[in-house]
Amino acid sequence: MRNFTILLFLFSGITTFCQNEYDYPKAPKEATTNTYFEEVIEDPYQYMENSNDEQLKEWLEEQARFTRAQSKKQTNYWDLRAQIATMYRVRREKTEDHIKKDPKFEDKFETKEDWNPYTGSMDLLYKLKDQQNWKKLISGKDIISSKEERVLYGNTSINESENLIAVAISVNGSDWAQGHIYDLTTGSKFPYTIKNIRTSTNLEWDGRELYYTAYKKPKEGRELLDTPTHKTLYRLSINNATANPEPIYKNPDTSGTYNFWYDIHEKNLKLFHHINSQGTWYNAISIADLNKENFQPRRFLVYPAEENVELSIKHIKGDSVFLKTTIGAPKGKVLLANLNTPNKLSEFIPEYDIDLQYVLKLGKDKLACIYRNEGQNIALIFNLKGELLRKIDFPKGKKLNHFYELNDDARTTKFSISSFFHPSTWYQLDLDNLEFKPSESISVPYDINSLETRYVTYTSKDGTEINMYITCDKETVLDGSNPVLMYGYGGYGTTVEPSFSYATGLLLAHGGILAVPNIRGGGANGSDWALAGRRLKKQNAIDDFIAAGEYLIKNNYTSSEKLVIKGGSHGALLVEAAATQRPELFKAVIAEAGPYDMLRFNLFTVGGMNTNLKEFGTPENLEDYRNLKSYSPLHNITEGKRYPNTLLITGDTDDRVPPHHSYKFLAKLQELGDPSALYHLYITPGSGHGGALKKQDSHDKTLYEYYFLFEQLGIEL
């Protein structure tokens, strides 16, 4: 890279992974089959779905030895570690005209997680905002039963007015958790253990009453496999030391297929749920007034449970309810309703020809509507009469964050802008005149000004035009020799937008290129764009991703020998589907926590929930079955074919996408794939879907992953 100013540790002579042929551990096979619509599918590694199977344990030990052998070839471990550490040396300085936020709008308490090297566990610390010293609230060693276990602090909710905190805590990254409540004035724990919740459980306070959702206790030994069922909303009174949780709302669907969620704001409980009428499920929004002693959620809106329908409450002001929706508006619009008039809506802000992403409260009397158009965020600020007050165009290739203000009396607020090549930078917005200015300056150990993000357009297999972010040095020579990391996700209507990763920053600092295509299945161009890569159209997302690689090669950004693809969760499915369909296109694949057996994905944990059934379908339906089988990575491995060098990463206690997906896929890849390519597995110990929980585990995983990446791309540090 030109104008590269960082001082790096230089080394050469990276030991290559390549050899003539790998001798992979052989996994035992069983004569197991599954029958779908009279078609018999062999599943010889189905026993790997049982984490206690002795054959599996022995095979995993052999795989661990194989991976350690690859790790020993990383002769420059300390140099890579030092360089990644250098990337974290970001300095932030307040600007001269920085205005400090009014203390009455600052949070009263702060919390942080802290690794305790003496106990080998993660503690949770807290302090008053205006104090220097941190106090220990939760000792991780009191949660775990052995040094091999890891603590995960999930959702945390602080009640500032009552000095209370509720924390969801799990072990080894499981989505299953317990909740605990503490007094932040004394640090003492209340005598309640909130059982059978999830780490993502919404913990909401109303005075000294805590609202939360919990499930039926899972069967022993099935915690990592079964779908959570019988979801119920509870209220717990902290005023009574012997109080029992009071059920407020029970999910009418006890199977766990249909979900519900809620939030609380200004004494209003908003419940987003499903109702069944004559065998048909509908979406519904109900509202409860928490000022009433015996409240009952009152049905406010009922609307079709269709894939392209979104309707969500974004702000309540008096009796006025502002909602974001895609009903009759795929790009999104804002509706207005009245709390006292159910099922009556009027248009407040119309649909425009750009995608509406967020509708946010901005102080006492404004709404901020954040749009996305061709890789650019646009903020339209309205008053509560629907009149446009200001339009702000933000830079292309960057992302607007935190553009809201919940406090009615605030005169200023802060927002940030993120990028693929620099950390978020903060700005201050005057809520009266809507002018903004930098709140700080940042300096990083490389030349930010030498980098840029391009937003290009390419054509997919069916002729659809797709956009892609390409982040690189401004003076990159397009000679087909550049190392490229292409990242993808492409599911659930989720858009991968510009955000900074320190490890990816190191790739850019070494002249590498980061490519992120906005493929169908994501939400880059509204709800229709998401639907175009969902369920029976999932192949569109895969085709879009493959076409992105072809574009990079055709336009001389790189070559197949310099192109590595990476994805996690749904993105891992995406990259492995692309790799099994077009193996010659990519040099290597990094896939983390992905579902690869799509014919059995629906049988475990969240795979059978409505969200995933809408995303993928079910093999119990003939059309879905044929479609799932057509792209399921496990079922599309061909004997003797050379697949890209592959690094699979999984947590051994992942109960969202169970690790057996990675085990079965690797076993078949090593059995049938050309053994001249490297196919191996890195297991992050004691971790769930979110990744490593111990600092050392996280460091080790990052270093292994990036050594593999740099080796495959031919980058010399």
Residues 318-350 have pLDDT tens digits of 889 999 999 999 999 999 999 889 899 999 999
Digit-coded pLDDT (tens) for 48-64:
999 999 999 999 999 99
SS3 379: strand
Residues 353-396: tens digit of each pLDDT: 999 999 999 999 999 999 999 999 999 999 999 999 999 999 99
Question: Which tens digits make up the pLDDT trace of 163-180?
Answer: 999 999 988 888 899 999
Asked if 491 and 522 touch (Cβ cutoff 8 Å), the reply is yes
- Give the 3-state secondary structure of 388-436: EEEEEECCCCEEEECCCECCCCCCEEEEEEEECCCCCEEEEEECCCCCE
At 333, phi and psi to the nearest 5? -150, 175
Residue with tokens 């390549």: 18
Q: How confident is the model at residue 1 (pLDDT cuts 50, 70, 90)?
A: very low
| Per-residue model confidence (pLDDT) at position 574 | 98
Note the pLDDT of residue 325. 95
Q: Which residues contact 683 (CB under 8 A, 6 or more apart)?
A: 60, 64, 67, 649, 650, 651, 652, 659
- For residue 126, give both structure tokens: 């807290």
In this predicted structure, what is the pLDDT of residue 445?
86
Integer angstrom CA distances of residue 678 from 6, 19, 66, 590, 668: 33, 9, 11, 12, 13
Q: In the predicted model, is pLDDT for residue 125 greater than 50? A: yes
State which H helix or E strand residue 27 sits in: none
Per-residue pLDDT reduced to its tens digit, 455-468: 999 999 999 999 99
Model confidence at 687, in pLDDT bands (50, 70, 90)? Answer: confident
Sole residue written with tokens 């009418």: 252
Of the chain, the percentage scoring pLDDT greater than 70 comes to: 95
Band (160; pLDDT cuts 50, 70, 90): very high
List, for residues 622-651, the tens digit of each pLDDT value: 999 999 999 999 999 999 999 999 999 999
Distance CA 256, CA 198 (A): 13
The reported pLDDT for the residue numbered 91 is: 81
In the predicted structure, residue 98 carries a pLDDT above the cut 80: no
**pLDDT for residue 692 is more than 80:** no
Cβ atoms < 10 Å from Cβ of 558: 26
User: Shortest CA distance to 520 belongs to which of 461, 590, 472, 471?
Assistant: 461
Q: Indicate if the pLDDT at residue 122 is higher than 50.
A: yes
Considering 191-200, 295-304, 364-373, 438-447, the range whose residues carry the highest mean pLDDT is 364-373
By the 8 A CB rule, do 168 and 178 touch? yes
Residue-level pLDDT at 558:
98
Mean pLDDT over 432-460 rounds to 93
DSSP for residue 89:
-
pLDDT tops 50 at residue 39: yes
**What backbone phi and psi angles, to 5 degrees, belong to 381?**
-105, 125
Distance CA 319, CA 407 (A): 18
Residue 239 has pLDDT above 50, yes or no: yes
- Say whether pLDDT at 11 is over 70: no
Contact yes or no for 540/532 (Cβ under 8 A)? yes
Binning the chain into helix, strand and coil, the percentages to the nearest 5 are: 20, 35, 45
- Please name the helix (run of DSSP H) or strand (run of DSSP E) that holds residue 262, with its range, or none: strand 261-265
Q: How far apart are the first and last CA of the chain?
A: 12
Q: Residue 224 CB: number of other CB atoms within 10 A?
A: 22
> What is the mean pLDDT of the segment spanning 702-712?
94
- Nearest CA to 25 among 603, 528, 670, 455? 670
Q: Report all structural domains of the chain as residue ranges with CATH numbers, in order of start.
A: 33-42+65-88+451-713 (3.40.50.1820), 109-259 (2.130.10.120)
CA distance 453 to 455: 7
Average pLDDT, the chain: 90
CA neighbours within 13 Å on the CB side: how many for 47? 17
Q: Note the pLDDT tens digit of each residue in 495-546.
A: 999 999 888 899 999 999 999 999 999 999 888 999 999 999 999 999 999 9
User: How far apart are the C-alpha atoms of 212 and 216, rounded to whole Å?
Assistant: 14
The confidence band for 241, taking pLDDT boundaries of 50, 70 and 90, is low
Which residues face 277 on adjacent strands?
280
Strands (E), 69-173: 91-94, 109-116, 121-128, 135-138, 151-159, 164-171
- What integer is the mean pLDDT of 97-124? 76
Rounded Cα distance, 609 and 627, in Å: 19
Confidence class for position 20, pLDDT limits 50, 70, 90: confident
- pLDDT for the residue numbered 7: 30
Q: Which parts of 143-239 fold into alpha helices (H)?
A: none
What tokens does 89 get?
A: 């040396």
Give the confidence band of 2 by pLDDT, cuts at 50, 70, 90: very low
Decide: residue 696, CB within 10 A, 0-12 exposed, 13-18 middle, 19+ buried: exposed
Q: Categorize the per-residue pLDDT at 135 as very low, low, confident or very high, splitting at 50, 70 and 90.
A: very high
The predicted model gives 563-577 an average pLDDT of 98
Who contacts 166 (Cβ-Cβ below 8 Å, separation ≥6)? 156, 157, 159, 179, 180, 181, 194, 203, 205, 210, 212
